[in-house]
Amino acid sequence: MPGSSLWFQRSSHPAATQRPIKYNDQGIVDSLTENNLTSMWASRRIGEDGQLYGVHVQGTAGIGLPTTVLVKKFQNLNPALLVDDNVRNRCKSEMVLLASICHDNVINVIHFIQREESIMLVYEYPVNGNVDYWLHRREGGEQPLSWPQRMGIAIGVAQGLCHLHHKCNRPTVHHNINSNNILLDQNFKAVIASFGAAQMNIAGLNQTLPITEIPVGNFGYVAPEYGVAASQLTEKADIYSFGVVLLELVTGKLANGADGLLAIWARDNCNELMANHLKMFKIVVDKSIPDQARYMEEMATVFRLGVDCTVGDPKQRPFMQMALKRLRRSRGRGPFLGLLNLYMDVVQVKDKVACEISSADELALTELMFSDTLKDAIVEKDGGSAFLLFLATKASGCPKTVGVKRT
């Protein structure tokens, strides 16, 4: 139809009443002019599923609606042609998918406009643009992202992907995670956008999906299994792309830059960079990050996670729940966790193992939680908790002596 339907804000409770957002459709359409587009978004195309524009909407200032919104325009490759079933289906797929997702780190559709020549989805506007802008294209007078901001972005994206993979009614694979598609709100909270290539996996978590077309602009973030048999594609493809974003946040390097593919470069050089008390690692950290020395251990842990997420074999990559867990544990990690010579004698073997330790740092290790081969140890100091990874040696099927290994 030539007009539009009212779209709605997603509710955090499925039984809650959906509240319509009453924008003036023509006001938004009239605002889609080159002079009215915000400079950060003007003419920037994301993927092949539409265009995103930041739009100053006319006539909204006095009625309590956002004066700037993000508009995604669906139309034929030849703009002179009218909307056909292909365009309608692409738009409908994204609307239905986003309407089923309710999460702070996933973009929110607030309105829908249909015209004969195009269909437009209206989203909340991310006032701070996207991660790509702040890492690679920010202007000279703007402050760089601090490490706490970068860590918050990493955790926000991980939370959003964890929701898509593990919390939705059907596991959802995004297929297009990159620093362009991670938007930032007024508090630099990360919001995942561009769901045009996303797929719900009806078969369930870790089940295979058919290979989709690789989105334009995603080179450098694409998992290697996209180039092989369809039986290899799962949500672990998103994990790979997420790992590349982590490496970007730490190093400030492009996903596909002067050193080639960032994921391959990081994997080839990781052991050397982590050696000798991070002496070499300090060289590759993004020079624009303020107060680097304070966060060096934390950045090294995130770099290692980025490498683990981008291994070639998807089965060896962590699930998103584990990646999020590791990020949360690495936050606030200080230099006192560099415990290369700490050894513990296990005195009881259960799900939780009490230990006696000897350490020059006078730390008190109170619990170990054993799983398979890579373990989590909780170290307490001054009443606070911090975390490190260790490898357990086994004798007669039980852990006996454990050495802490720097990650």
Q: Is the entire prediction scored with pTM above 0.75?
A: no
Query: Mapped to the 3 state alphabet, what secondary structure does 112-178 carry?
Result: EEECCCCEEEEEECCCCCEHHHHHHHCCCCCCCCCHHHHHHHHHHHHHHHHHHHHHCCCCEECCCCC
Q: Write down the domain spans for the chain.
A: 25-124, 131-333, 337-404
Q: Which residue from 3, 146, 9 is spatially nearest to 66, judged by alpha carbons?
A: 9
Identify the pLDDT of residue 229.
Answer: 58
Q: Is 215 exposed, middle or buried (0-12, 13-18, 19+ CB in 10 A)?
A: buried
**pLDDT tens readout for residues 116-126:** 888 888 888 88
Instruction: Examine the pLDDT at 138 and tell me if it is beyond 60.
Output: yes
> Do residues 18 and 9 touch, judged by C-beta distance below 8 A?
yes
Write down the mean pLDDT value for the chain: 71
| Section 280-300 average pLDDT | 94
> Do residues 320 and 154 touch, judged by C-beta distance below 8 A?
no
Instruction: Examine the pLDDT at 403 and tell me if it is beyond 50.
Output: no
DSSP state for residue 350 in the 8-state scheme: S
Instruction: Examine the pLDDT at 262 and tell me if it is beyond 90.
Output: yes
Give the type of residue at 396: S
> Do residues 194 and 51 touch, judged by C-beta distance below 8 A?
no
42-51, 132-141, 216-225, 284-293 — which is least confidently predicted? 42-51
Structural class in CATH, domain 131-333: mainly alpha
Percent with pLDDT over 70 in the chain: 60
For 25-124, CATH number? 3.30.200.20
Residue 126 and residue 135: Cα distance in Å, rounded? Answer: 16
Helix (H) or strand (E) holding 344: strand 343-346
**pLDDT tens readout for residues 303-329:** 999 999 999 999 999 999 999 999 999
Instruction: Examine the pLDDT at 259 and tell me if it is beyond 50.
Output: yes
**pLDDT confidence of 31, banded at 50, 70, 90?**
low
**pLDDT confidence of 265, banded at 50, 70, 90?**
very high
Beta bridge partners of 20: 8
Residue 184 and residue 135: Cα distance in Å, rounded? Answer: 12
Identify the pLDDT of residue 9.
Answer: 38
- List strand residue ranges (DSSP E) for 79-118, in order: 109-114
Instruction: Examine the pLDDT at 288 and tell me if it is beyond 90.
Output: yes
Residue 200 and residue 222: Cα distance in Å, rounded? Answer: 19
Instruction: Examine the pLDDT at 169 and tell me if it is beyond 60.
Output: yes
* Residue 185 burial (CB count, 10 A): 15
**pLDDT tens readout for residues 71-114:** 888 888 777 788 888 888 888 888 888 888 889 999 988 888 88
Q: Comparing 340 with 175, which gets the higher pLDDT?
A: 175
Residue 263 and residue 158: Cα distance in Å, rounded? Answer: 18
| Section 222-229 average pLDDT | 81
Instruction: Examine the pLDDT at 393 and tell me if it is beyond 70.
Output: no
Residue 398 and residue 235: Cα distance in Å, rounded? Answer: 34
Identify the pLDDT of residue 325.
Answer: 94
Q: Do domains 25-124 and 131-333 have the same CATH topology?
A: no
